[in-house]
Amino acid sequence: MKVLFVCTGNTCRSPMAEALLTHKLPEIKAQSAGVFAGMDQSASPHVITALKEKGIELQHHSQPITEELVQWADIVLGMTSQHKQSLVMQYPQYEEKYFTLKEYVSSDDKEIDGDIPDPFGGSLEVYQETLQELEYLITLLIEKINK
């Protein structure tokens, strides 16, 4: 399976999700991109620190969302409903691939609503909280992939 994570600038949430998934499930193919991302920006220093505390080294350079990336992916997981909506507006022909991360990992007995807040500009503690939330969601994602 090929998973594309999408956030705003591709320097915080989506690179964290990509790093967590590939760390926990190395055989999966994952990438990340941003709906308003520039090219080749490093991940936020707090992202690198928070991941390093979990034993994950991150070498990341941002990239904007492209049709090629969307075509490549089996599923495209946005961090917010706005990211999903932006994808629908840009590339409506692939709408069946688009979910928010929380929407995708929800199940009949465990519905998870809401967006994953952007930690950009926050303290290291804010980034650690985002990472903790993403760890939980990535664990649910792996359970779903392995079914």
Q: Could you say which of 7, 108, 113, 115 is catalytic?
A: 7
Return d(Cα 106, Cα 26) in angstroms, integer: 23
Q: Could you say which of 13, 74, 113, 115 is catalytic?
A: 13
Sheet of 98-100, strand order: 29-34, 2-7, 75-78, 98-100
Return d(Cα 5, Cα 73) in angstroms, integer: 9
Is-contact 116 134, C-beta < 8 A? yes
Q: Beta strands of the chain (E only): which ranges?
A: 2-7, 29-34, 75-78, 98-100
User: Which residue in the block uniquely carries the two structure tokens 């992202």?
Assistant: 47
Q: Which whole-number Å values give the CA distances from 6 to 16, 53, 79, in the listed order?
A: 11, 23, 6
Quick check: is 13 catalytic? Answer: yes
Catalytically active residues are: 7, 13, 118
